Amino acid sequence: MKVHGRCHCGKIAYEATVDPDTVGLCHCTDCQTMTGSAFRATVQAPAEGFVLTGEPKIYIKTADSGTKRAHAFCPDCGTPMYATSISNPQRYSLRVGTIEERAQLRPRRQIWCRSALPWSIDLQGVVKLDRQ
């Protein structure tokens, strides 16, 4: 599936080909902190189909395993865009919220559920408003 993404201010944009079956949610505490939310929604994009416009700021995160990942975000508005390996990226983990076609990207799996905020797994009883 071809997707188009951009940051909130439009300084950084991309096109990519993704497999909708790779959409996932991560509930780890790093993802909670780095998104400022309860979880991170991502979809995988092979490097050969990823075209970036603009120059993101890169933050290098070292995981508990010692693996280093490059996290890209807009230097102006701060929108998280993707994560990838530091050198010779084979794929990009795109942030679903930056993708125009995000309504078509339903999560297929959730990981790090042991770190999930208890209320984030079941939102059935939460009041829903069309707008405020």
Among residues 25, 24, 63, 22, the alpha carbon closest in space to that of 46 is found at 22
Domains with residue ranges and CATH for the chain: 2-119 (2.170.150.70)
CB contact burial 53-91 (16+ within 10 A = b; e otherwise): ebebeeeeeeeeeeeeebbbbbeeeebbbbbbeeeebeb
Please name the amino acid found at residue 17. Answer: T
The one-digit pLDDT tens for each residue of the chain (132 residues) are: 999 999 999 999 999 999 999 999 999 888 888 899 999 999 999 999 999 999 999 999 988 788 899 999 999 999 999 999 998 999 999 999 999 999 999 999 999 999 999 888 888 888 888 888
Place of tokens 């076609």: 101
